[in-house]
Amino acid sequence: MKHLIFYSFLMVLFFGCKAQNTPSFVKQNNGNTLLWEVSGNGLQKPSFIFGTFHLLCKQDIHFSDQLKKAVGFSNEIYMELDMDDPSTMLSGMLYMNMRGDTTLADLYTDKEYTRLKNYFSDTLKMPLALLQKAKPYFLVALLYPRMMNCSSPAGVEEELVKLAKEDKKEIQGLETMQFQASVFDSIPYKWQAKELMKNIDSFSVNKEEFNTMLGFYENQQMDSIKTMLGKSEFGSDKYDDFLLKDRNKKWVTKLDTIMKKESVFVAVGAGHLVGDNGLISLLRKQGYKVEPLVNK
């Protein structure tokens, strides 16, 4: 009997201390936040989801005290890719190329290709000859820095990596660069080529919409982000399953296993959080409690 009381005491002490070591996080009274707490459904400790924006002016990237606390509390940081692994960038250079013998020149008429080549040379100051094998959708990303009102754009993920290193946190990837490349290989190169030219031809309109989206992100207006992603210029309804829905479902399956083992801080593009097929909704359908946290 004494042994039973002794071990019961140890169990209470163990779980009591464990509960005390879990800090409380201030909840938001509405969903206008990029930072969310995941709990319940058998989790011993909460995990966190944060919506990122892949490119911001460096001076506009700020992390709240509560976000820093969530990072510090978590055992590991999960991003779309392992941004701390040098091989990620190296493989990115390899997998950005189209399969087979296809080149950009094959995807356009002579007139279109000349226009594309001149745009890269005159506007982007970049010889298109060096990018002949690149997937057209990857090249769209080269237009975004020109839409920004600063000379030093940076990725939110890049700054998060610095924060994670300060806290000595291991960074993991939900996907590999190889997988991401395969997603774009599933989208016809001809369609990608048309999208690239459309983005060039509609640059002024896209710049205006980009800055609108940027404002929604900085003000953490999740409903507005959801609505805007549904528009043709920012969403890709035709291949939405490849780019968002299917990936989100895979991530939730993976996180369902990971979060039961340890607390993690998950940082992915804000577009992956919203909507019926977003991470917030999918995790709730799995039985998790997903609550908005103050992030100021």
Residue boundaries of the structural domains of the chain: 28-292
Return the pLDDT at 238.
Answer: 63
pLDDT in tens, 105-138: 999 999 999 999 999 999 999 999 999 999 998 9
C-alpha 37: how far from chain center: 17
pLDDT in tens, 176-234: 988 888 888 889 999 999 999 999 999 999 999 999 999 999 999 999 999 888 764 55
Return the pLDDT at 50.
Answer: 98
**Mean pLDDT for the stretch of residues 146-167:** 90
Q: Where does the pLDDT of residue 90 fall: very low under 50, low under 70, confident under 90, or very high at 90 and above?
A: confident
Return the pLDDT at 83.
Answer: 87
**Does 87 have pLDDT greater than 50?**
yes
Cα first-last separation, the chain:
53
pLDDT in tens, 261-293: 999 999 999 999 999 999 999 999 999 999 999
**Mean pLDDT for the stretch of residues 165-172:** 94
Beta bridge partner(s), residue 79? 173, 267
**Does 18 have pLDDT greater than 70?**
no
Return the pLDDT at 21.
Answer: 61
Q: How confident is the prediction for the chain on average, in pLDDT?
A: 88
Tell me the pairing of strands 170-173 and 76-79: parallel
CA distances (Å), origin 189, targets 146, 182, 243, 245, 255: 24, 12, 15, 21, 32
**Does 17 have pLDDT greater than 50?**
no
**Mean pLDDT for the stretch of residues 247-254:** 96
Half-sphere exposure of 239 (CA within 13 A, CB side): 14
Least confident of 70-84, 129-143, 144-158: 144-158
Closest CA to 197 of 206, 209, 187: 206
Provide, rounded to the nearest whole percent, the portion of the chain with pLDDT above 90: 70
The amino acid at residue 294 is: V
DSSP-assigned letter for residue 97? B
Return the pLDDT at 9.
Answer: 30
**Does 95 have pLDDT greater than 90?**
no
Q: Where does the pLDDT of residue 153 fall: very low under 50, low under 70, confident under 90, or very high at 90 and above?
A: confident
